[in-house]
Structure 1
Amino acid sequence: MNRKNLVLHARNSIERGSKSFARASKLFSKQTRERAWLLYHWCRACDDLADGQDHGHGMSTVAHPGKTIAAMRMMTARAHGGEQTGNPPFDAFGVVAQECHIPKYLADDMIDGFALDARDWRPETEEDLYQYCYHVAGTVGCMMALVMGVSSRDQEILDRACDLGLAFQLANIARDVAEDAQAGRCYLPQKWLAESGVDPDHLLQPENRDALVLLVNRICDLAGDYEASARVGAASLPFRSRWAVLAATGIYGDIARAIRKSGGASLERRIYTSKGKKLGSILKALGQALFSAPQRDRQGLWTRARTTRLA
Structure 2
Amino acid sequence: MTSERAALVAAAHESIRRGSKSFAAASRLFDRTTRERVWLLYAWCRACDDIADEQDHGHAARTSPASAARLDPEARLATIRALTELAMAGEETGSPAFDALAQLMRETPVTRAMVEDVLAGFALDAADWRPRSEADMLRYCFHVAGAVGVMMAAVMGVPADDEDTLDRACDLGIAFQLANIVRDVWEDDANGRCYLPVEWLAEADIPPGEVTKPHYRHALVPQVARACALARQYEASARVGAARLAFRQRWAVLSAARIYGGIAREVERLGAHAWDHRVVIGKGRKLSMVATAFVEARRTPRAVSRPALSRRELASIAKRR
- Give the TM-score, by structure 2 length: 0.92
- 2:268 corresponds, among 250, 260, 268, to 260
- The 5-angstrom pairing of residues 227-266 of structure 1 reads 227-266=235-274
Alignment match, 2:12:
10
Give distance in 1, aligned partners of 2:274 and 2:320: 29
Is the deviation greater in 127-136 or in 297-306?
297-306
- 2:43 corresponds, among 34, 41, 44, to 41
- 1:179 corresponds, among 187, 192, 202, to 187
Q: Secondary structure at 1:291's aligned position in 2?
A: coil
Give distance in 1, aligned partners of 2:221 and 2:282: 23
Q: CA deviation at 1:58?
A: 5.0
Unaligned runs of 5+ in 2: 62-68
Give distance in 1, aligned partners of 2:307 and 2:132: 23
Alignment match, 2:289:
281
Alignment match, 1:153:
161
Q: Secondary structure at 2:55's aligned position in 1?
A: coil
Q: CA deviation at 1:258?
A: 1.3
1:127–1:62 Cα change, 3 Å: farther
- The 5-angstrom pairing of residues 111-122 of structure 1 reads 111-122=119-130
Q: 1:72-112, CA deviations, whole angstroms, 9 ceiling, x for partnerless residues?
A: 01100111111111112111111112211311121111111
Q: CA deviation at 1:65?
A: 0.8
Give distance in 2, aligned partners of 1:104 and 1:200: 37
1:103 maps to 2:105: no
Q: 1:17-53, CA deviations, whole angstroms, 9 ceiling, x for partnerless residues?
A: 2233222211111000000010011111212222233
What is the identity, as a one-letter code, of the residue corresponding to 1:294?
R
What is the identity, as a one-letter code, of the residue corresponding to 2:49?
D
Alignment match, 2:66:
none
Give distance in 2, aligned partners of 1:146 and 1:183: 34
1:200 maps to 2:208: yes
Query: CA-atom RMSD, angstroms?
Result: 1.9
Q: CA deviation at 1:301?
A: 4.3
Residues 162 and 304 in structure 1, CA contact (< 8 A), matched pair in contact too: no
Q: CA deviation at 1:64?
A: 1.2
Is the deviation greater in 78-87 or in 44-53?
44-53
What is the identity, as a one-letter code, of the residue corresponding to 2:190?
Q
Q: 1:120-157, CA deviations, whole angstroms, 9 ceiling, x for partnerless residues?
A: 11001000111111111111111111110111111010
Q: Secondary structure at 1:188's aligned position in 2?
A: coil
Alignment match, 1:74:
82
Q: 1:258-287, CA deviations, whole angstroms, 9 ceiling, x for partnerless residues?
A: 111122333232110010111111111110
Residues 88 and 112 in structure 2, CA contact (< 8 A), matched pair in contact too: yes
Q: 1:144-183, CA deviations, whole angstroms, 9 ceiling, x for partnerless residues?
A: 1111011111101000000011011111111111111111
Give distance in 2, aligned partners of 1:289 and 1:62: 46
Unaligned runs of 5+ in 1: none
Residues 51 and 62 in structure 1, CA contact (< 8 A), matched pair in contact too: no
Give distance in 1, aligned partners of 2:170 and 2:112: 16
Q: CA deviation at 1:251?
A: 1.0
- Deviant stretches of 4+, over 6 Å: none
Give distance in 2, aligned partners of 1:93 and 1:302: 25
Give distance in 1, aligned partners of 2:296 and 2:44: 30
Residues 79 and 93 in structure 1, CA contact (< 8 A), matched pair in contact too: yes
Residues 78 and 85 in structure 1, CA contact (< 8 A), matched pair in contact too: yes
Q: 1:188-210, CA deviations, whole angstroms, 9 ceiling, x for partnerless residues?
A: 10111111111221221111111
Q: Secondary structure at 2:39's aligned position in 1?
A: helix
What is the identity, as a one-letter code, of the residue corresponding to 2:293?
A
Q: CA deviation at 1:62?
A: 5.2
